[in-house]
Amino acid sequence: MNGSEYALLAGINLSAPLFHAPWGIVTGKNLMDIGTLVILEGLLSFDNALALAATVKSRLSDPVDQKHALRYGIWGAYIFRTLVIFLGVTLMKIEWVKAGAAAYLIWLAAAELWPKSGSEADDETLPDAHERGISKYLKLSPLWSTILAVELMDIMFSIDSIGVAFAISSEPWILIAGA
């Protein structure tokens, strides 16, 4: 029984993009794509992880809460990226979406190479999520406001790495294995 049959038995078709891949056939190119994705994800995620850890450490004083915030943030990131991969497989079939993703990556690279004048002096600090913003209206605890901030930051940080991943491969199982 293949993955498509499992999806039909379950009455859903969300897994169809994942299971159309030949799981039994692992080629050298697929392994190279996965290896490339692992390296690129590691490079793109390193500074993001430092920023998330610094945010958690600055907002929460209890080490147990810090650990929980980072753990929930990591799980949220995995869930978000998996959903985006399923959505992205469909969207990457549309040429103008691919062109837009490529233009965004080029813009990011140009912004890093040629920053605006005075942008180095601007310190981008995050507001205390517990004192302002949506956390104030939702009446979230410091732990949950930090988790919300970590999730939102991860979503913003992951846009470039997801675009790069789709430039490497359009096979969902390769994208998930490489992430």
What is the spatial distance between Cα 88 and Cα 157, in angstroms, rounded to a whole number?
Answer: 16
Q: Within the chain, what is the greatest distance between any pair of CA atoms? A: 60
Per residue in 128-176, pLDDT (tens digit) is: 544 556 666 777 788 888 888 888 888 888 877 887 888 888 888 888 8
Q: Is the dihedral of CA 136, 138, 143, 146 positive or negative?
A: negative
* pTM over cut 0.85: no
What is the spatial distance between Cα 46 and Cα 30, in angstroms, rounded to a whole number?
Answer: 24
Burial profile 94-121: b = 16 or more Cβ within 10 angstroms, e = fewer: eeeebeebeeeeeeeeeeeeeeeeeeee
Per residue in 13-71, pLDDT (tens digit) is: 445 545 555 555 677 888 899 899 889 888 877 877 888 888 889 888 899 999 999 89
Domain residue limits, the chain: 45-171
- Residue scoring higher pLDDT (126 or 138): 138
Whether 178 contacts 26, CB under 8 Å: no
